[in-house]
């Protein structure tokens, strides 16, 4: 296999973005809508996994972006199932995600595009699920393991930022938004770690809580600033054609909203909760719009294919 599979990439990214939509809706209190969104996320995850399994014999190097996205999607789906009260299933997904992550962490992600941030996204996804399960099951060691993953994810972000080509802000087809998405999912992980603490567990002392709170808020502020900057870049350098990488933009928007809601809950900031819900509905609109764009593009591609087939005859 000479290159990555667009099929697996599309379904993996769709599963990740849709899974975060489910997590965000649950954080905002829309439990029924959250469960509804979880259904297509699971379906897309299964299709992506099947596509990757078919191409596994060709090596993971070419498939690293889709595979790392699938790891992140697995963790996000686990968080969604945990919110639904299905802790055993969430724990099984955590184990699966950890196994895939350990295999893929050392696989090189080629290029200098936004995909270099996928190792950070996958690692922070594990931190989100670990912290979520630690709070649900009152397991201290799981929260401490999630904290290690949180700091590792930030280190991976620094390495990715060094490799990222800034011109992608002008030339990228959507995956350059992972620069923001990785910051936002890191902030989400930090907020989940803060929320996991309780009198029963007593996870963090005052010094650790202060450092975690400061880091989490800083990450959220940076993510929001980056969102505005990249949105302005889209206005200066518009991308008129659909690309599978545009789902990375949707992921960044949705996870920024989810992170805002999680930080508002962890720090008990009511006005930030209102802002987070507003961002969530904007992100859901972007998710719906990108879905419609993908369907329209697929239909147009099918029509062109039929026309070429008839022309050959």
The model's pLDDT over 236-247, given as tens digits with 9 standing for 90+, comes to 888 777 777 788
Residue 306 lies in a domain: no
Tell which residue, 137, 135, 131, 252, has the closest CA to residue 189. 131
Q: Is the pLDDT of residue 297 over 90?
A: no
**pLDDT recorded at residue 170:** 79
Q: Tens of pLDDT along 97-115? A: 999 998 887 776 666 677 8
**pLDDT recorded at residue 109:** 63
**Model pTM score:** 0.90
**pLDDT recorded at residue 36:** 94
Residue 307 lies in a domain: no
Q: Tens of pLDDT along 29-59? A: 999 999 999 999 999 999 988 888 776 655 5
Range of the domain at 212: 6-197+204-301
Domain holding 247: CATH number? 1.50.10.150
Q: What is the mean pLDDT of the chain?
A: 86
- Region 198-221 average pLDDT: 88
Q: Is the pLDDT of residue 1 over 50?
A: no
Residue 37 lies in a domain: yes
Q: Is the pLDDT of residue 148 over 80?
A: yes
Q: Is the pLDDT of residue 313 over 80?
A: no
Q: Is the pLDDT of residue 256 over 60?
A: yes
- Region 72-76 average pLDDT: 95
Q: Is the pLDDT of residue 4 over 60?
A: no
**pLDDT recorded at residue 116:** 87
- Region 275-295 average pLDDT: 89
Would you place residue 2 in the very low, low, confident or very high pLDDT band (cuts 50, 70, 90)? Answer: very low
Tell which residue, 34, 36, 43, 35, has the closest CA to residue 15. 43
**pLDDT recorded at residue 239:** 75
Share of the chain above pLDDT 90, in %: 54
**pLDDT recorded at residue 238:** 81
Q: Is the pLDDT of residue 62 over 70?
A: no
Q: Is the pLDDT of residue 190 over 60?
A: yes
Residue 217 lies in a domain: yes
Q: For the chain, how many structural domains are there in total?
A: 1
Residue 309 lies in a domain: no
How far is residue 173's CA from residue 59's CA, in Å, rounded to a whole number? 26
Residue 208 lies in a domain: yes
Residue 1 lies in a domain: no
**pLDDT recorded at residue 172:** 76
């Amino acid at each position: 296999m000479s290159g990555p599979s667009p099929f697996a990439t599309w379904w993996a990214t769709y599963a990740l973005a849709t899974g975060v939509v489910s997590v965000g809706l649950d954080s905002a209190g829309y439990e029924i809508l959250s469960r509804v969104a979880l259904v297509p996320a699971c379906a897309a995850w299964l299709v992506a996994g099947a596509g990757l399994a078919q191409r596994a014999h060709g090596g993971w190097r070419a498939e690293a972006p889709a595979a790392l996205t699938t790891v992140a999607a697995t963790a996000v789906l686990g968080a969604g199932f945990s919110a639904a009260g299905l802790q055993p299933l969430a724990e099984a997904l955590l184990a699966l995600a950890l196994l895939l992550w350990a295999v893929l962490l050392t696989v090189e992600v080629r290029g200098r595009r936004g995909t270099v941030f996928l190792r950070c996204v996958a690692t922070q996804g594990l931190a989100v699920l670990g912290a979520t399960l630690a709070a649900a099951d009152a397991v201290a060691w799981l929260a401490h393991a999630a904290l290690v993953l949180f700091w590792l994810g930030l280190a991976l972000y620094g390495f990715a930022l060094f490799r990222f080509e800034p011109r992608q802000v002008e030339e990228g087809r959507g995956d350059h938004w992972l620069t923001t998405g990785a910051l936002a999912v890191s902030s989400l992980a930090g907020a989940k770690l803060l929320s996991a603490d309780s009198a029963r567990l007593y996870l963090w002392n005052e010094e650790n809580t202060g450092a975690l709170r400061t880091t989490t808020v800083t990450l959220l502020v940076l993510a929001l600033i980056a969102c505005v900057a990249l949105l302005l870049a889209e206005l200066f350098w518009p991308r008129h054609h659909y690309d599978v990488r545009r789902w990375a933009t949707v992921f960044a928007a949705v996870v920024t909203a989810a992170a805002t809601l999680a930080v508002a809950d962890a720090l008990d900031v009511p006005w930030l909760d209102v802002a987070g819900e507003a961002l969530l509905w904007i992100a859901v609109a972007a998710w719906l719009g990108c879905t419609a764009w993908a369907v329209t593009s697929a239909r147009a591609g099918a029509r062109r294919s039929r026309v070429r087939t008839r022309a050959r005859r």
